[in-house]
Structure 1
Amino acid sequence: MDALRAALRTVAPDLAGGTIVPRGLEPSDDPQWCAATAVVDGRFVVKFAWAEPPALRICHQVGLMETLRLAAPRLPLPDVVAAARDPAMLITRRAAAVPFFDVRHSITPADRPAVAADLAATLAALHDPEVLQAVSEAMGPLPEPTAYASTDALRAGLGPLIRPDQRDRMVAWCDWADRALAAPGRTVLVHGDFHGDNHLWDPESLRLRLVVDWETAGTGEPEFDLRCLPGDCGIELFAATVTAYEQLSGMRVDVDRVMAWHLRTVLGDALWRAGAGVSLPDHRTPAQWVDDLDARFTALGTFR
């Protein structure tokens, strides 16, 4: 905490004496995760790091948002109050909005078209080829975000975590995902981690207000950014978002590719958490997550 206040005195002196509520300050032996977030005076969000890998991610996010403000002015970006590369810190104004996970159960069929339109408009604006060109010219080569685990890792490690009757199905899904992703997709700028904690919504109007956590943004295919929506939104809202996205962007979404990335992301998260001894976010089991995947594939008619 003392180090954070000292850094604030350098980057934003007016905030250094404020009330700080930290999140994620647990000690870590892995430099990759030596980063945290804090809320200052209930009005500002501070991201900071005390090791090189997360510091580089913060610097990447700072540069990216500076460029996106000009290249994609329609994107709902955080309001940056201050930023620095040494010490690595990003301070944004806290928005009166909540994560999508906090509002998704309030979305009625009547609300669905507007919610889908907001999701689609945000992703279509980000995936505009001119945005990638502008960001690449400003920042140079960009990282390529990927799912948590390869299909080889899933085949090798997931079996003991699920029921015996699910294992052949899981292997067949991995084989199918390999076929679905065998050919490269088109390349755009992707957020890289577009899940329900990273897009914030007005709980009254159910409109999208903010997209946060741009640390992993880079080059990828549009379907990669849509990969969390089948689980986060449910199949009906996901399908409505795909339709709206295609209308806005003029580009077809390959739902098979979305679901192949979805499979790798969901099962990869379960595998990683099991290996790290961390419970799943909803405190259920990997076997239950496999059942959820089965229901989504059935609803979409994707897996053949």
Structure 2
Amino acid sequence: MALTWLPEPTVAALRAALRTVAPDLADGTVVPRGLEPDDDPQWCAASAVVDGRFVVKFAWARPPALRICHEARLLATLRTAAPWMPLPVVVAASRTPAMLVTRRADAAPFFGVRHRIAAADRQAVARDLAAVLAGLHDPRLLATVSEALGPLPQPAAHTSTDTLRARFGALIRPGQRDVVSSWCDWADRALAAPGRTVLVHGDFHGDNHLWEGESPRLRLVVDWETAGAGEPEFDLRCLPGDCGVELFTATVAHYERISGASVDVDRVMAWHLRTVLDDALWRAEAGVALPDRRTPAQWVDDLDARFTALGTFGGAGSPRR
């Protein structure tokens, strides 16, 4: 079946597409998110909430249209292969045009509930995170999904450490520049050898796992567009910053117990370093505020504190190995 996408990023174009894909939603109340033109075709995509009950993902260029179709096929496969996985309920999916409609869940992103996680809740939250990731990373699941879908993509690459060395220093304090450079050298060594390959979500950050209840419990994992074949540590890379060091280490302990596989925390932190610096670099150079409205220099301070707490570095940004 041919692949098509919306002709333009407008609500009118979305309604016209919905009349084909999900006619009952075409005249509903549409609240778009991210519906702005973009010069880079990679990011010509958005989502919308319809009638407060459905989430619609759509695109107006080929690359994101392909990702939406990949997500739809993957969700259909996982629904059968991993019925325990907390997946979105798919209402409609289409290639002409590329569109995915899921039922909206009564749950909040992790970023919206993490302030409510008390010390007494930490182990339950860690178990929920670990159970989902350990189950996803079961090698048998990768084999099943690959058999159904064919060769899987690898997660999107971060900015290279060479680029970070060359350009990140302009964003931070002079005294931090050698530290960041040494971190990049350490990350290159940590990731020099390939890790084991599993099915990964690819973008497991705090907006993509949804939680419910006063004592938060994991309800849903969303946004599977970049899922593919990668290493487990890549999927854990956002947790040290999103969760904090104590919840991250608790999650690693539960993950190792559930999966029977060890986690290389150095590799997690090498990917974490590249993720954090990449995010800060592109935002600063594009004139986009960092999510917490702080500065790249403050993010470097945060990284140093995490590395010190985990013993990954021997203080003041000095690599352990």
Structure 1 and Structure 2 fold alike (TM over 0.5):
yes
1:190 paired to 2:232: no
1:204-243 equivalent positions in 2, closer than 5 A: 204-243=214-253
> Which one of the candidate residues 127, 132, 145 is aligned to 2:137?
127
Separation in 1, partners of 2:248, 2:157 = 19
Determine the structure 1 residue equivalent to 2:170: 160
Determine the structure 2 residue equivalent to 1:54: 64
Write out per-residue CA displacement over residues 224-263 of structure 1, whole angstroms, 9 at most, x where no aligned residue: 0000000000000000000000000000000000000000
1:1-304 equivalent positions in 2, closer than 5 A: 1-303=11-313, 304=320
Gaps in structure 2 of 5+ consecutive residues? 1-10, 314-319
Identity of aligned residues (%): 79
Q: How many residues align?
A: 304
Structure 1 runs (4+) deviating above 2 angstroms are none
Could you tell which deviates more after superposition, 39-48 or 200-209? 200-209
Distance apart, 1:29 and its partner CA = 2.2
Write out per-residue CA displacement over residues 70-112 of structure 1, whole angstroms, 9 at most, x where no aligned residue: 1111110001011111110000000000000011011011000
Partner-residue secondary structure (3-state), 1:25:
coil
Query: Does structure 2 conserve the Cα–Cα contact (< 8 Å) formed by 1:42 and 1:94?
Result: yes
Query: Does structure 2 conserve the Cα–Cα contact (< 8 Å) formed by 1:132 and 1:188?
Result: yes
Separation in 1, partners of 2:150, 2:290 = 36
Q: TM-score, normalised by structure 2?
A: 0.93
The two structures, once aligned, show a CA RMSD in angstroms of 0.8
Partner-residue secondary structure (3-state), 1:158:
helix
Distance apart, 1:147 and its partner CA = 4.5
**What is the identity, as a one-letter code, of the residue corresponding to 1:69?**
R
Separation in 2, partners of 1:148, 1:186 = 19
Separation in 1, partners of 2:190, 2:48 = 41
Distance apart, 1:146 and its partner CA = 3.8
**What is the identity, as a one-letter code, of the residue corresponding to 1:271?**
L
Gaps in structure 1 of 5+ consecutive residues? none
Query: Does structure 1 conserve the Cα–Cα contact (< 8 Å) formed by 2:156 and 2:226?
Result: no
Could you tell which deviates more after superposition, 184-193 or 148-157? 148-157
Partner-residue secondary structure (3-state), 2:47:
strand
Distance apart, 1:180 and its partner CA = 0.6
Write out per-residue CA displacement over residues 11-31 of structure 1, whole angstroms, 9 at most, x where no aligned residue: 111111111111111122221
Query: Does structure 1 conserve the Cα–Cα contact (< 8 Å) formed by 2:116 and 2:215?
Result: no
Distance apart, 1:142 and its partner CA = 1.1
**What is the identity, as a one-letter code, of the residue corresponding to 1:239?**
T
Write out per-residue CA displacement over residues 134-155 of structure 1, whole angstroms, 9 at most, x where no aligned residue: 1111111111114431111110
Write out per-residue CA displacement over residues 202-225 of structure 1, whole angstroms, 9 at most, x where no aligned residue: 042300000000000011100000
**Given the superposition, is the C-alpha separation of residues 147 and 299 from structure 1 closer, same or farther in structure 2, using an over 3 Å criterion?**
farther
